Amino acid sequence: MKFTFIDAEGNFFDTVHFSQSLKTWPFKGSGTYLILGKVVEEFGFPSIEVEKMAKLPVKPDQRY
C-alpha cells in the first residue's frame, strides 16, 4: 500500500507499507505520525519503505 504524507517543509512524500508492517504498526486515524524506514528511489522518485510508525500525541489547546 502507498500513502502520501507532507514533511516538515510542506513537501509531499510517499510511503510504502507492506502487509506485515501495517499489521504491526496500523494507522490510528488522522494526525501526525513518526515514521521509521528506508528511503528508496524508483524511477527517479524517492519514497520510504516503512518499518515502524507511531501516531504522535497532540497537545490540547489550552484556550478552550
Give CA–CA dist 62/64, Å, rounded. Answer: 6
pLDDT value of position 6: 82
pLDDT value of position 50: 92
Domain boundaries, the chain: 2-55
> What does pTM read for this prediction?
0.70
- Output the tens digit of pLDDT for each of the chain's 64 residues: 778 888 788 888 888 888 888 889 898 888 888 999 999 998 888 889 999 999 999 888 889 8
pLDDT value of position 57: 94
Note the maximum CA span of the chain: 48
